[in-house]
A and B are shown apart, each in its own frame.
Chain A
Amino acid sequence: MEKENVIVTHELTKRFGDFTAVDNVSFAVQKGEIFGFIGANGAGKTTAMRMLCGLSLPSSGTATVAGFDVYKQNEQIKKHIGYMSQKFSLYEDLTIRENIRFYAGIYGLRDERIREKTDLLLQQLHMKGAERTLVRALPLGWKQKLAFSIAIVHDPAIVFLDEPTGGVDPITRREFWSLIYEAAGRGITIFVTTHYMDEAEYCNRVSIMVDGRIDALDSPANLMQQYASASMDGVFLQLARKAKRSGD
C-alpha cells in the first residue's frame, strides 16, 4: 500500500549569486519514516533543510511540507515541524526546565500540558533532579539530547535534525538514536542529516548528496547491494569521489 508523503520536492534549487548550493533536488519522504540526508561538508544539506523549514526562500522548484507550500505557506509549515539546527540552540543562561517551558510555550502548549511534558521528558532523559541546572553547565551529549526532546516537545508531524550528533561520543550517539526511534515510533517523521556513515544505516532510506545534487536515494540495504559494498561507508566513498566542492 502506498504510504502518505509528508515532504515532496520537485527540482528544488537554491542559488547564492551564481553559486548553486542545492541543485534541482527531487524526492519524497513518507509519513513515519526516518529519512537520512548524507553528504560531505558543503554538499548542501543544511541549505536544503532550511528551505523545507521555511527559513530560506528557494530559488526555483517546488516543495510541500506537511501538505503546505514552502513559498506561500511557510508560517503554516512552522506549526507542524520541529527543527534542531546544526548550531546548538538552547538558551545557555536558562535552566533545563526553563528551556522546556519557553519552547513549549512558543508553540502554544498550555501550562498544565507543559508541566506534564516536562516531567515526562526529564524522566526519559534521566535528568530528574537536574532540572534547575543552567544548560551552560551540561555536558554536550546532554545538551543535544535535551535539544532534540525540546524540538519535538509540541509533537510535530516532522522533525528536522541537522547533524544532531556532531562531536559527541559513540555511546551518547547510540542513546540519541534510541530517542529518535522512540519519536519515530510515535509517528513523528524524522528528517536527519549526518556525515557519520554508521548512522546512515539506522535510517529507513537515505539520500546521498554530492555537490548540491542527490546522486543516490534508497534504503541502506539496497544501496549497499547496488554499489557492491559491505557498508554505507563504501557506498559513500564511491559517490563522493566525484565531488568537486571542498568542505567549508
Chain B
Amino acid sequence: MRMLKILLWKELLQIYRDPAIIRILFIMPMIQLLILPLAADYEIKNINLGVVDHDHSEYSRQLVNKIVSSGYFRLKDYSATFPQGLKAIESGRTDLILEIPTHFERDIVKDNRSSLFVAVDAVNGVKAGLGGAYLQGIIQNYNQEVRTQWIQAQRFDEQPTIEIASADWYNPHMNYRVFMVPGILVMLVTMIGSSFAANNIVREKEMGTIEQINVSPIKKMQFILGKLIPFWLLALLVLTIGLLIARLVYGIVPLGHYSTIYVFATIYLLAILGLGLLLSTYAQTQQQSMLVSFFVTMIFNLLSGLYTPIESMPAWAQLITRFNPVSYFIEVMRMVMLKGSGLADIRYQILALIGFAVFFNGWAILNYRKRSG
C-alpha cells in the first residue's frame, strides 16, 4: 500500500510537470469538442438524396417534402425502381436512397405500421451515415405528425408506427451534435487510455529508469497499478470536462444518469488501459508505441459506429465491431444520452467490457517481465 502510494505520488508529480500532457489533456479535448462538430455540421447540410417512391400517395409526398425542407437534403434523383436508384448512388449523384414501399399510406392507415428502406453509400461513409441518421430522425418526427392527425381525425388510441428498416434512432431533434459529441468524447478517452499510459511506460524504458524499478523489490502488480491509476483518473477527468462542455455549450443533457456513464467508463478504461499496457510491453521506443497505438485507435474509431452506423456496415465489418471496445462505449453513450438507458439496459455491454479488460490486462501482465530471458 505504501509502495503504491509512493509510485502514485511520483507519477502524478511527473504528469503535473509535463506541459505537453496538460496541453494534450485539456486543450485538445476542448478544441475537438468545439470545432469538430461545427466543421462537420457544414458538410452534412448538403446530402444528396435519391427517392424511390412506389406508393405515390399523399403521405409519401408529404414525407419527401418534409425531408427536403429540413435543409439538410437535396433531392437529386427520383427513380421508379430501386436498381435505378442504386445507379444514381454508384455514379456519385446521390449519397443515399429512401425507398417508400407500395401501400405505405394504406399500411399506416390500416395497420398503424409501415416500413421504409434507407440505403446509404458506403464510400462516403461519414456523409451518408450521418445522412441516414438524420433521415431517420426526420421520419420519426414525421411519424409523430401522423399520430397527431390520426388522433384528431379518428380518435384512435393506438399509435401508428413506421418501422425504419435500417436502424432504430433516438435523436428526434435531428441534432447532429447530439450524435457526434458523445462519440468525440469516447475517442478522446480512448486515446488517453491507450496511448498515454503506454507511452509513459515506454519512456521509462528509453530513459533506463525501468531498470532501476526492475532491480528494486517493487512487485509487478504495484508497478502496473502505479501506472494505470493516474491515467485512469486523468481520462475520467477529461470525460468530466467533455460532459460539461457538451452540457454547457451544446446543451446536451443525457436522458439517463451521468452515473451510468461513469460506471461504464470506469470499466471501459480498465480495458483500454490494459490495451495500452500490452502495447508498452512490446514497444521499445516511444515512436513505436505512439505509432502502434495511433494505428490501433484509428482502426477502432473507424469501425466504432461513430462515423458510419454499424447497421450500415458490411457483415464482416459488423462482426469486427463486436471485438472493438470503442463501439461498445459509443453505443452505451448514445443509449444513455438519447434513450435514457440505465445499468440494467447496458449489462451486456458491461459484461463484454469486463471480458476485454481481463483479456488485455491478463496478456499484458503475463508479458511484463522484471527479468529478461
CB within 8 Å of B: which residues of A? 53-57, 74-75, 78-79, 81, 83, 85, 87-94, 98, 101-103, 105-108
Residues on A with beta carbons closer than 8 Å to the beta carbon of B212: 83, 85, 89, 103
CB A5 to nearest CB in B, in angstroms, measures 21
B6 lies within 8 A of chain A by Cβ: yes
Closest Cβ–Cβ distance, residue A95 to chain B (whole Å): 9
Q: Please, which residues of chain B bring their CB within 8 A of the CB of A108?
A: 2-3, 217
Asked if B208 lies at the interface with its beta carbon under 8 angstroms from chain A, I say yes
* Complex contact B371–A56 (CB within 8 A): yes
* Residue of chain B at shortest CB distance from A80: B217
Contact: A88 with B208, CB < 8 Å?
yes
| A93 with B10, Cβ < 8 A, contacts A54-B215, A55-B371, A57-B373 known | no
The answer to whether residues A78 and B6 also contact, given A56-B371, A91-B14 and a CB cut-off of 8 A, is no
Give complex CA distance A88, B211 in Å.
Answer: 10
Contact A98 B215 (CB under 8 A): no
**B13 close to A94 (CB less than 8 A):** yes
Partner of A78, one of B7, B13, B209, B216: B216
Give Cα distance in the complex from A53 to B216, angstroms. 10
| A54, A79, A87, A102: the one within 8 Å of B6 (CB) | A102
* Bound CA span A156–B174, Å: 68
Is the CB of B207 closer than 8 A to any CB of chain A? yes
The 3 closest A-B pairs by CB, nearest first: A87-B208, A105-B6, A83-B215
State in angstroms the CA–CA spacing of A205 and B208 once bound together: 29
Asked if B148 lies at the interface with its beta carbon under 8 angstroms from chain A, I say no
Q: Are A94 and B211 in contact (CB under 8 A)?
A: no
> With the chains together, A75 CA to B373 CA distance in Å?
15
- Is the pair A93, B217 in contact by a Cβ cutoff of 8 Å? no
**B17 close to chain A: CB less than 8 A:** yes
A147: nearest chain-B partner, CB-CB: B212
- Say whether A106 contacts B372, CB under 8 Å: no
Check if B217 sits within 8 Å of A91, measured CB to CB.
no
Judge if B240 is at the interface, Cβ distance under 8 Å: no
Are B372 and A78 closer than 8 Å at their CB atoms? no
| Residues of B near any A CB (own CB < 8 A) | 2-3, 6-7, 9-10, 13-14, 17-18, 207-209, 211-218, 370-373
Q: Are A55 and B214 in contact (CB under 8 A)?
A: yes
Choose among A54, A79, A85 the residue that contacts B208 (Cβ–Cβ < 8 A). A85
**Do residues B213 and A106 form an inter-chain contact, with CB atoms below 8 A?**
yes
Complex formed: what's the CA distance from A83 to B213 in Å?
A: 10
Cα A90 to Cα B18 in complex, Å, equals: 16
Q: Which residues of A contact B217 (CB under 8 A)?
A: 75, 78-79, 106-108
**C-alpha spacing A107/B6, complex, angstroms:** 10
A91 touches B215 (CB 8 A): no
Q: Is the CB of B208 within 8 A of A89?
A: yes
Complex: A132 Cα to B218 Cα, angstroms: 26
- Bound-state CA distance A89–B216 (Å) is 13
Q: How many angstroms from the CA of A150 to the CA of B137 in the assembled complex?
A: 65
The answer to whether A89 and B207 have CB atoms under 8 Å apart is yes
Minimum C-beta distance from A160 to chain B (A): 8
A93 vs B13: C-alpha distance in the bound complex, in angstroms? 9
- Chain A residues within 8 Å of B10, by CB: 91, 94, 98, 102
Nearest chain A CB to B17's CB is how many angstroms away?
5
CB distance from A157 to the nearest CB of B (A): 14
Contacts of A103 in B (CB 8 A): 212, 216
CB distance from B205 to the nearest CB of A (A): 10
Contact A91 B209 (CB under 8 A): yes
B216:A55 contact, CB within 8 angstroms: no
| Structural contact, A74 and B371, CB atoms closer than 8 A | yes
B208 proximity list for chain A (CB < 8 A) = 85, 87-89
Q: Which residue from A57, A88, A92, A106 sits with its C-beta under 8 Å from B216? A: A106
Residues of A with C-beta under 8 A to B216: 78, 103, 106-107
- The CA of A87 and the CA of B371, in the complex, are separated in Å by 17
A184 CB, min distance to chain B CBs, angstroms? 20
Between A and B, 23 residue pairs with Cβ closer than 8 Å are A53-B215, A54-B215, A54-B371, A56-B371, A56-B373, A74-B371, A75-B217, A81-B215, A85-B215, A87-B208, A89-B212, A91-B14, A92-B207, A93-B14, A94-B17, A98-B10, A103-B216, A105-B9, A106-B6, A106-B7, A106-B213, A107-B217, A108-B2
How far, in angstroms, from A85 to B214 measured CA to CA in the complex?
11
| Inter-chain contact A106/B371, CB cutoff 8 Å | no
Give chain A residues whose Cβ lies under 8 Å from the Cβ of B371.
Answer: 54-57, 74
Q: Which residue of B lies closest to A56 (CB)?
A: B372
Q: How far is the CA of A85 from the CA of B209 in the complex (A)?
A: 9
